[in-house]
């Protein structure tokens, strides 16, 4: 399980080498998350329709190593966009992946780009 | 009319105006304000928010019209360049002259740029105004297109420097903090806490370089690096200087006011300069030989200057509190009083946990009676209380460690906020004492937090006092016997019942609109399901209409299990099931290799289905006549029954028949929490009806109806509500009872705790339901009937709609299934592989 986790590392905008197309805007439910596959990775993609913003993170919840984050409810905590894990409701910031509920668990986040209605996620390799 | 000229329209200059016009006497004056910046005063403390939205308007202290409406003549984009003290006039850079009776200098300060060789190069910025930020943003995006791995350094590891570090990180640049001292935030932190903070910041991605003196900035016209020692060079593409502030005291100097040796216009405790008609306030004023780089003392100074001009005798306090609390990049950092001090002055209690990036230190007087100061890193939740204990010199526990160690019972070691003295200053930005805040409720008649804020302006500055103000308001309301409003979450300032009414009365069509109308922000996992429940109980809409606001279980119409698979629970009303139905369940379970178990609710649960299998399984089940059991919803679960008079030798009535009728009546009905029923054929109570939200027990002459029981974590027996009822009356009372519960209960409150809180208790409930004391009985019944008539099986809806079916797929961009799910054998079935 640990090695499943280690493949997820945040990708800053500046380090993007590949913009991987994961579908069209309409493929993603509004104001919710959905999961995509890239090589061996599962990435949760979040469509904040209200603000027109998109976020992406690992789908794996680091708490119990389950592939569930895309199923969680989204929203914000004091303005920080977040997802709540569906299993035990730990809250993660979608801006930097930190755990807004306090402890040290953290998730990797990825840049999302929208071009001509297409949704792209940025990866380093 | 006498004339006041305010030079500088920053935070403090603005506050002067605000405080001034609030005084009746102010009508006798004419105020003119000059600001050098192109816009009216804005909230510099929250300047970094500009990076998020580039919305300068959102930062405004008040719009330009506010000045006009209040008779203030605001002139922006015009610097005052000269003062002629003899003639009491000023001249502006546009060569215009104005005369004054009183002059208020609120020119603030500018960023200090150390005299390092090369600071004039392109790509070097300071962090003080909106224009600075705009420049940084433009530059950052320019260098990123040339070099996607561009680096930015911040010169200075103080409060502001760290904030700037976060800003450049958010711009997508690799952040480096350069600090001359051997620790971060040298003015506020000791070395140990600085190390803890450093670890935390590094874990987030900030690169920190301590004990570095910068010799020169490298680059040919454009910055390319910084040189510290001979071979010590850091390549950077941008630099933000945050090395302290310098008062903008030019006007003081040129007009011959008394100045401090290292700058700043000297003022006394009346905020008067060496010229009786000239005041200086904010970051330009040198008071007690200090420039205070915080807004709170600046606001106090503004208040004193107002009072002095209007002839009141208020004076500036001798001691200025420099305590600070902030959230840096998600890390709590606070320091108050004397954060560090020699052992000869007091004792320190230190708690450090580097693995969790936690550090707490308090300094206690030698006699152990007073708190002198402290530092909190990682968790500053106790800051407000500790700060108050310090400010008010309150008694501390004999074992001072209790102040920072978590209390063993999870409670606070401080007692109630109401124990604070009335003079305790709670909101330092607005100088509000506990007395003022509580008085706004006890004397001015405020009824809730928002009214208190509107009345006093508490929490509107830095916001740090918010938790304490909330506590004070709640405790004061409680002490007056007033209801304390429990709001749903940070996005809605209403409780569930209010939201229910708002949605209903305004015919709000969906959650999005509700958020627009009554809420703020983007919502969360608390308010969304509350609204899902409210919409469902007003219109009977199923979880399929607004999937985005459903809890994960409702969104997938199945309970998510510990390994991310789901369970399938078809409804088996009253627990009655035919052999053929049992066979179908068995066949379906075999076909999809599902673990099966009889539940505690008299039905069968099939576990281990993957999301894409759910619709296939449900199609098979629905074809065989099953429907959703809503085992995932906050809704009716089961109405458990015993076999009753049809078979049992003691049975008094047909409990199974009645249980089936009731279960079918309320199936699919959403509510604040789940609810369950039970019907027993006699007082032997084999259906455990008294352990349910409603229970029926057959007796001579009809049914005894019990309400508000549950099992679970806090078991509660249901209470006898009415006796010897016939079938029709039972249904009538149940309709009314359930609808009343649905309308009034808080989120996730089951019937038992709801009854506990209901004023008047069970007697009142009987009056409302049986005697119709508040005249809503018919309403409740009609409403319930409307809902019942609209019932639809949401699983049937789902499998018949291609649009809804799209939801049941693990990947958007692939038909693959989740290959991380693993099962292991268990007895003759299977279970998820252990965590
Ligand atoms: C399957 C079952 C256990 C079993 O194997 O028998 C079960 C399983 C769960 N129960 Fe239960 N409860 C089951 C009968 C009960 C009973 C017995 C009963 O209904 O007579 C109780 C005590 C009676 C009661 O509710 O008052 C019960 C009290 C709870 C509670 C505590 C409620 C409370 O008020 O304290 C929870 C937690 C909650 O709902 O917040 C809970 C929550 C859960 C959840 C939904 C936890 C979760 O969110 O994942 C479990 C989900 C299982 C699943 O994935 O399907 N379950 N649960 C039973 C399903 C009944 C059904 O057919 O729908
Ligand atoms: C990024 C940042 C974060 C901060 N965070 C905090 C914090 O968390 N907590 C805290 O307490 N403080 C914080 N501060 C400090 C706080 O912003 C200042 O203490 C406060 O703004 C001082 O107010 P002021 O009115 O004295 O000065 P300023 O806000 O600087 O206003 C002075 C104004 O006068 C104008 N002016 C100057 N000379 C002239 C002239 N000759 N003619 C006309 N106009 C003139 C200037 O252009 C300026 O607009 C922060 C500051 C910054 C930059
Ligand atoms: S008792 Fe606990 S473990 Fe057992 S099913 Fe209910 S919630 Fe799950
Ligand atoms: S698995 Fe995500 S919070 Fe427990």
- Name the residue ranges covered by the structural domains of chain B: 2-109+247-309, 124-243, 496-555, 633-800
| CA neighbor of B500 nearest in space, from B531, B527, B528, B526 | B531
Cβ-defined contact of B522 to A81 (cutoff 8 Å)? yes
Q: What is the pLDDT of residue A3?
A: 67
Encoded tokens for B450? 């928002």
Encoded tokens for B118? 């090369």
Give CA–CA dist B208/B188, Å, rounded.
17
Put simply, whether B256 touches A (Cβ < 8 Å) is no
Q: What is the pLDDT of residue B835?
A: 59
Encoded tokens for B260? 């401090």
| Ligand that lies nearest to the alpha carbon of residue B81, given by its number in the listed order | 2
Give mean pLDDT, residues A83-105. 87
List chain B residues with CB under 8 Å of A75: 491, 521-525, 527-528
Tens of pLDDT, residue by residue over A21-58, are 999 999 999 999 999 999 889 999 999 998 999 999 99
Residue B49 and residue B318 in contact, taking contact as beta carbons nearer than 8 Å: no
Q: Directed axis angle between helix B434-442 and helix B466-479, to 10°?
A: 40
With a 6 A CB cut-off, is B627 part of the ligand 1 pocket? no
Put simply, whether B522 touches A (Cβ < 8 Å) is yes
Q: What is the pLDDT of residue B409?
A: 44
Residue B185 and residue B326 in contact, taking contact as beta carbons nearer than 8 Å: no
Q: Locate tokens 């099992």: which residue?
A: B711
Give CA–CA dist B445/B440, Å, rounded.
6
Which residue's CA is the closest to the ligand 1 atom numbered 42? B712
For B124-243, the fitting CATH number among 3.40.50.1950, 3.40.640.10, 3.50.50.60, 3.40.50.11860 is 3.50.50.60
Give the global pTM: 0.54
Best residue in B521, B555, B556, B614 to probe A by mutation, most A CBs within 10 Å?
B521
Q: What is the pLDDT of residue B406?
A: 61
Cβ-defined contact of A72 to B204 (cutoff 8 Å)? no
Using DSSP's 3-state secondary structure scheme, residue B268 falls into: coil
Residues 6+ apart with CB under 8 A from A83: A33, A44, A46, A57, A69, A72, A73, A74, A91, A92, A94
Residue-level length of chain A: 125
Is the fold of B124-243 the same as that of B633-800? no
In this prediction, the residues of chain B whose per-residue pLDDT falls under 70 are 327, 329, 406-416, 461-463, 483-485, 835
With a 6 A CB cut-off, is B637 part of the ligand 1 pocket? yes
Tens of pLDDT, residue by residue over B365-423, are 988 888 999 999 988 888 888 888 888 888 888 888 888 876 544 444 556 677 788 88
Q: At B442, give phi and psi (nearest 5°).
A: -70, -35
DSSP state of B484: P
Q: What is the pLDDT of residue B694?
A: 97
Helix, strand, coil percentages, rounded to 5, for chain B: 35, 20, 45
Q: What is the pLDDT of residue B383?
A: 87
Q: Write the DSSP string, B317-342.
A: -SS----EEEEETTEEEEEEE-SS--
Residue B282 CA to ligand 3 center (angstroms) comes to: 60
With a 6 A CB cut-off, is B569 part of the ligand 1 pocket? yes
Q: What is the pLDDT of residue B331?
A: 83
Q: Which fold has domain B2-109+247-309?
A: FAD/NAD(P)-binding domain (3.50.50)
Q: What is the pLDDT of residue A78?
A: 86
Q: What is the pLDDT of residue B640?
A: 97
Atom of ligand 4 nearest to the CA of A64: 1
Residue B148 CA to ligand 1 center (angstroms) comes to: 52
Which residue's CA is the closest to the ligand 2 atom numbered 27? B108
Atom of ligand 4 nearest to the CA of A61: 2
Helix (H), strand (E) at residue B362: strand B358-365
Cβ-defined contact of B525 to A75 (cutoff 8 Å)? yes
Task: Tell me which residues of chain B, numbers 557 to 616, contact chain A at a CB-CB cutoff of 8 Å.
Answer: 560, 562-564
Q: B633-800 has which CATH code? A: 3.30.413.10
Q: Which domains does chain A have, with CATH numbers?
A: 2-123 (2.102.10.10)
Cβ-defined contact of A14 to B548 (cutoff 8 Å)? no
Give CA–CA dist B707/B718, Å, rounded.
5
With a 6 A CB cut-off, is B160 part of the ligand 2 pocket? yes
Q: What is the pLDDT of residue B453?
A: 82
Distances (CA, A) of B832 to A85, B561, B605, B609, B725: 19, 9, 15, 11, 48
> Hey, which of B631, B685, B709 would you mutate to test ligand 1's pocket, going by the most ligand atoms within 8 Å of its Cβ?
B631
Tens of pLDDT, residue by residue over B61-117, are 999 999 999 999 999 999 999 999 999 999 999 999 999 999 999 999 999 999 999
Q: At B594, give phi and psi (nearest 5°).
A: -105, 145
Tens of pLDDT, residue by residue over B273-286, are 999 999 999 999 99
Indicate the burial class of B595 (C-beta count within 10 angstroms; 0-12, 13-18, 19 or more). buried
Q: Is the pLDDT higher at A100 or at B614?
A: B614
Residues 6+ apart with CB under 8 A from B116: B214, B215, B216, B217
| Ligand that lies nearest to the alpha carbon of residue B714, given by its number in the listed order | 1
Q: Locate tokens 């619709």: which residue?
A: B615
Q: What is the pLDDT of residue B799?
A: 92
Which residue's CA is the closest to the ligand 1 atom numbered 15? B600
């Amino acid at each position: 399980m640990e090695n499943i986790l280690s493949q997820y590392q945040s990708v800053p905008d500046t380090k993007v080498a590949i913009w991987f197309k994961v579908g069209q805007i309409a493929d993603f439910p509004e104001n919710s998350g959905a999961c995509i596959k890239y090589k061996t990775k599962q990435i949760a993609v979040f469509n904040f329709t209200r603000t027109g913003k998109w976020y992406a993170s690992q789908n794996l919840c680091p708490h119990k190593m389950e592939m569930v984050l895309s199923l969680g409810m989204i929203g914000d905590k004091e303005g920080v966009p977040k997802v709540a894990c569906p299993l035990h409701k730990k809250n993660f910031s979608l801006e930097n992946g930190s755990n807004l509920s306090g402890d040290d668990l953290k998730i990797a986040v990825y840049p999302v780009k929208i071009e001509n209605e297409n949704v792209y996620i940025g990866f380093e390799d | 009319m006498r004339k006041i000229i305010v030079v500088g329209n920053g935070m403090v200059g603005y506050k002067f105006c605000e405080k001034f016009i609030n005084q009746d006497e102010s009508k006798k004056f004419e105020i003119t304000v000059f600001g050098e910046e192109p816009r009216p005063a804005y909230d510099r403390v929250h300047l970094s928010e500009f990076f998020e939205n580039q919305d300068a308007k959102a930062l405004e202290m008040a719009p330009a019209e506010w000045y006009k409406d209040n008779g203030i003549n605001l002139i922006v984009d015009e610097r005052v360049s000269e003062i002629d003290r003899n003639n009491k006039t000023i001249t502006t850079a546009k060569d215009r002259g104005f005369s004054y009776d009183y002059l208020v200098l609120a020119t603030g300060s500018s960023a200090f740029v150390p005299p390092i060789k090369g600071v004039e190069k392109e790509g070097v910025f300071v962090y003080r105004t909106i224009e600075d930020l705009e420049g940084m943003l433009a530059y950052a995006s320019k260098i990123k297109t040339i070099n996607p791995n561009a680096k930015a350094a911040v010169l200075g590891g103080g409060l502001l420097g760290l904030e700037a570090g976060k800003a450049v990180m958010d711009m997508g640049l690799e952040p480096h903090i350069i600090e001359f001292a051997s620790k971060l935030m040298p003015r506020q932190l000791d070395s140990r806490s600085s190390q803890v903070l450093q670890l935390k910041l590094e874990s987030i991605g900030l690169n920190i370089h301590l004990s570095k003196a910068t010799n020169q900035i490298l680059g040919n016209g454009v910055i390319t690096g910084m040189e510290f020692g001979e071979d010590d060079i850091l390549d950077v593409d941008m630099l933000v200087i945050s090395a302290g502030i310098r008062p903008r005291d030019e006007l003081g100097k040129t007009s011959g006011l008394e100045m401090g040796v290292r700058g700043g216009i000297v003022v006394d405790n009346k905020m008067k300069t060496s010229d009786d008609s000239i005041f200086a306030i904010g970051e330009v004023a040198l008071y007690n030989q200090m420039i205070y780089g915080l807004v709170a003392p600046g606001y106090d100074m503004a208040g004193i200057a107002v009072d002095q001009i209007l002839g009141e005798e208020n004076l500036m306090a001798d001691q200025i509190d420099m305590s600070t609390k902030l959230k840096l990049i998600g890390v709590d950092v606070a320091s108050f009083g004397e954060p560090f001090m020699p052992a000869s002055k007091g004792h320190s209690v230190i708690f450090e946990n580097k693995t969790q990036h936690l550090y707490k230190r308090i300094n206690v007087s030698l006699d152990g009676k007073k708190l002198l100061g402290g530092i909190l890193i990682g968790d500053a939740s106790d800051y407000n209380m500790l700060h108050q204990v310090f400010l008010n010199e309150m008694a501390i526990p004999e074992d001072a460690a209790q102040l920072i160690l978590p209390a063993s019972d999870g409670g606070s070691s401080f007692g109630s906020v109401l124990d604070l003295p009335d003079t305790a200053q709670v909101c330092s930005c607005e100088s509000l004492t506990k007395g003022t805040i509580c008085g706004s409720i006890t004397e001015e008649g405020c009824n809730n937090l928002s009214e208190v804020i509107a009345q006093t302006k508490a929490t509107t500055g830095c916001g740090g006092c918010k938790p304490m103000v909330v506590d004070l308001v709640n405790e004061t309301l409680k002490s007056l016997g007033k209801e304390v409003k429990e709001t749903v979450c940070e996005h809605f300032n209403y409780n569930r019942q209010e939201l229910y009414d708002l949605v209903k009365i305004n015919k709000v069509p969906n959650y999005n609109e509700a958020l627009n109308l009554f809420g703020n922000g983007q919502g969360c996992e608390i308010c969304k399901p509350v609204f899902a429940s409210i919409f469902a109980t007003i219109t009977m809409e199923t979880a399929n209409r607004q999937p985005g606001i459903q809890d994960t279980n409702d969104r997938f119409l199945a309970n998510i299990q510990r390994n991310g698979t789901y369970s399938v629970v078809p409804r088996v009303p009253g627990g009655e099931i035919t052999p053929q139905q049992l066979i179908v369940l068995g066949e379906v379970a075999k076909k999809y290799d599902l673990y099966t178990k009889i539940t505690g609710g008299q039905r069968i649960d099939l576990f281990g289905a993957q999301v894409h299998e759910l619709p296939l399984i449900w199609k098979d089940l629905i074809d065989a006549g099953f429907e959703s059991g809503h085992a995932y919803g906050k809704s009716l679960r089961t109405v458990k029954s015993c076999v009753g008079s049809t078979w049992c030798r003691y049975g008094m009535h047909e409990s199974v028949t009645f249980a089936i009728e009731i279960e079918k009546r309320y199936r699919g009905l959403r509510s604040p929490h789940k609810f369950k029923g039970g019907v027993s054929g006699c007082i032997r109570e084999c259906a455990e009806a008294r352990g349910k939200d409603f229970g029926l027990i057959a007796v001579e002459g009809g049914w005894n109806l019990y309400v508000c029981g549950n099992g679970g974590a806090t078991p509660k027996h249901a209470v006898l509500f009415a006796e010897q009822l016939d079938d029709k009356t039972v249904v009538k009372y149940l309709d009314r009872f359930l609808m009343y519960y649905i309308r009034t209960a808080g989120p996730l409150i089951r019937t038992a705790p709801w009854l506990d809180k209901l004023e008047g208790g069970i007697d009142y409930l009987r009056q409302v339901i049986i005697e119709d004391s508040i005249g809503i009985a018919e309403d409740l019944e009609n409403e319930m009937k409307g809902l019942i008539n609209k019932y639809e099986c949401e699983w049937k809806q789902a499998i018949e709609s291609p649009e809804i079916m799209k939801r049941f797929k693990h990947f958007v961009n692939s038909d693959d299934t989740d290959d991380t799910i693993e099962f292991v054998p268990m007895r003759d079935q299977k279970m998820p592989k252990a965590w």
